[in-house]
């Protein structure tokens, strides 16, 4: 299925989510994430700071920030830098995303787990992002476990049309599903 068609379909579905449904869904997704071995074993975790139309990470960050080391991406040209998360040191950056401030850029090799947003996922681990390739470039640079998170309706039955630069996630977690992906090597 074409990515633009998927983006339109998922956007329409997100528009009918109430605020309480969105928060309850996020709570269920992150409760599943917290039970994974990848999360339990990881100390250094890259996560996104959610936009209004994304699965909210705020409660999860509030709950875990004192027990895990979290990092957020910051747009730097066409790439993403990785900086430590500090809720008191955020500013509105590119695309109206709250980003960390400072110069303490972290080497991607230090990250053990990446929790990435997506518009949609298929059962093969392919993801549809916003179309700029920021996360694909970042995901290609790391051997960290890559977990894609989303609502149940963001896991689609159709295969996503992929391009050579697309990078699969290792695990997909939705409100009711935990799907490990078997990658072909």
The CATH number covering residue 151 comes to 3.40.50.10420
Distance CA 128, CA 118 (A): 6
Give the pLDDT mean for 90-111.
88
**pLDDT score recorded for residue 105:** 84
Q: pLDDT tens digit string along 137-181?
A: 989 989 999 999 999 999 999 999 998 888 999 999 999 999 999
Average per-residue pLDDT for the chain: 93
Let me know if residue 176 belongs to a domain: no
Q: Residue 137: inside a domain, yes or no?
A: yes
What is the tens place of the pLDDT at every residue in 51-89? 999 999 999 999 999 999 999 999 888 889 999 999 888
User: What Cα–Cα distance (Å) separates residue 120 from each residue in 5, 34, 62, 117?
Assistant: 11, 21, 25, 9
Task: Give the model's confidence band at 184: pLDDT under 50 very low, under 70 low, under 90 confident, else very high.
Answer: low
Whole-number pLDDT of residue 66:
94
In a domain, 185, yes or no: no
Distance CA 183, CA 185 (A): 6
CA–CA dist 26, 180 (Å, integer): 19
Residue 183 token pair: 């990658």
Q: From CA 117, how far away is CA 107, in angstroms rounded?
A: 20
Print the domain residue range for 84.
3-167
Q: Is the pLDDT of residue 132 over 90?
A: no
- pLDDT of amino acid 185: 46
**Candidate from 4-8, 9-13, 75-79, 156-160 with smallest mean pLDDT:** 75-79
Cα gap 82→74, rounded to integer Å: 6
- Answer whether residue 181 is part of any domain: no
81 falls within a domain: yes
Note the pLDDT tens digit of each residue in 26-39. Answer: 999 999 999 999 99
Largest CA distance in the chain: 42
Q: Is residue 95 part of a domain?
A: yes
Identify whether 178 is part of a domain. no
Separation between Cα atoms, residue 119 and residue 7, nearest integer Å: 6
Domain count, the chain: 1
DSSP symbol at 143: -
177 in a structural domain: no
Rounded CA gap, 152 and 138, in Å? 25
């Amino acid at each position: 299925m074409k990515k633009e068609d998927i983006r339109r379909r998922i956007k329409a579905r997100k528009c009918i989510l109430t605020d309480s449904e969105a928060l309850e869904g996020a709570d269920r997704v992150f409760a599943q994430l917290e039970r994974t071995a990848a999360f339990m074993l990881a100390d250094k975790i890259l996560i996104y700071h959610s936009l209004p139309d994304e699965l909210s990470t705020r409660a999860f960050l509030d709950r875990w920030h004192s027990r895990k080391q979290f990092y957020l991406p910051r747009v730097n040209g066409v790439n993403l830098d990785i900086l430590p998360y500090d809720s008191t040191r955020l500013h509105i950056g590119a695309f109206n995303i709250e980003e960390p401030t400072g110069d303490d850029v972290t080497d991607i090799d230090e990250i053990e787990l990446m929790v990435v947003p997506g518009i949609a996922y298929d059962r093969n681990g392919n993801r549809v992002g916003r179309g700029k390739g920021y996360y694909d470039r970042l995901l290609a640079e790391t051997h960290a476990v890559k977990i894609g998170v989303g609502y149940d309706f963001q896991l689609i039955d159709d295969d996503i049309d992929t391009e050579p630069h697309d990078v699969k996630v290792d695990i997909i977690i939705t409100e009711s599903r935990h799907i490990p992906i078997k990658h072909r090597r």
